[in-house]
Amino acid sequence: MAIKSKRQLRALAALNLDLFEAEPLGVPAPATLYTKISEEAGQVTAAVASTEDARLSSDGPELPSEEDLYSLFDRYNWMYFDGRLSRPIIEYSTRMTSAGAYLPYKRLIRIGRKYHQIFPEEISDTLKHEMIHLLHLNHSASFRAEAKRVGASIKARSHPSLRKPPRYVYVCENCGTEYPRQKRLIMASCGSCSPNGKYDGRFKLKLKRSLRQPDRVNRR
């Protein structure tokens, strides 16, 4: 075996050190609570930013979701009615121009979306008003007393800019109340005279006048 020079021995020693020196092995640092919070915070921030962008790009103010309306109903139910009101159906209506309405035959509360896009701060008042109708269908003295107790308006409001001129006017021949309507009524009775808010043929509404413009017919 040839004797190596000092330079070769030094080079070989350096090579052996590079080849056989063990790399430092360490257990990777465990994910800490701070790390997880940071990751979650980043995801939440991104989600909030996305929601904010969607809200700003949408038309009009952001209203509570229908799920939020149910939660608000439950809250007011316990605050003002000792939880004795059973949940009705609650939904937004994009067609109605008034603040709200209660349909007893469907057990349905409708919240006017167009109205509350103009007055979003009134949505709680509207919901409380319609909740009272679960107990008192008409705007009777009992209804007015409940409205005063819970701090709700007595009559649902509408905005003039949302109103359309009526096409038909119906009247109750018993009490003389007039009902302007956009559509023809077939089986409808006076809400004040009919007991329990149900249809009663004795108080069927009669067409008083039609404000509908006659259709133009092209004649040759």
Domain span holding position 73: 61-157
Query: What would the two tokens of residue 141 be?
Result: 């003295």
132 and 201 belong to one structural domain:
no
Residues with Cβ within 8 Å of residue 83, at least 6 apart in sequence: 77
Give per-residue pLDDT as tens, 75-114.
Answer: 999 999 999 999 999 999 998 888 899 999 999 999 999 8
User: Are 119 and 197 found together in one domain?
Assistant: no
Q: How confident is the model at residue 157 (pLDDT cuts 50, 70, 90)?
A: low
Dump pLDDT digits (tens) for 38-86.
455 455 445 434 444 444 334 567 899 999 999 999 999 999 999 999 9
CA 53, distance to chain mean position in Å, is 19
Q: Is residue 22 part of a domain?
A: no
Q: Could you read off the pLDDT of 132-150 as tens digits, one per residue?
A: 999 999 889 999 999 999 9
Torsion angles phi and psi, residue 208, rounded to 5: -90, -45
- Can you tell me the distance from the alpha carbon of 190 to that of 87, in angstroms, rounded to the nearest whole number? 26
- 153 plus 67 within the same structural domain: yes
* Mean pLDDT for all residues in the chain: 76
- 194 shares a domain with 108: no
Closest CA to 117 of 147, 101, 133, 93: 93
Is 143 part of a structural domain of the chain? Answer: yes
Q: Are residues 149 and 79 in the same domain?
A: yes
User: Would the pTM of this model clear 0.85, i.e. be above it?
Assistant: no
Tell me if 28 is assigned to some domain: no
* Rounded Cα gap, residues 8 and 166, in angstroms: 108
d(CA 176, CA 212): 22
Counting the structural domains of the chain, the total is 2
- Residue 53 in any domain: the answer is no
Radius of gyration of the chain (CA): 36
pLDDT class of 192 with cuts at 50, 70, 90: confident
The residue among 139, 157, 175 that closes a domain is 157
Same domain, residue pair 88 and 142? yes
188 in the same domain as 205: yes
Domain boundary among 110, 125, 157: 157
Per-residue pLDDT band at 214 (split at 50, 70, 90): very low
Q: Which amino acid is at 84?
A: R
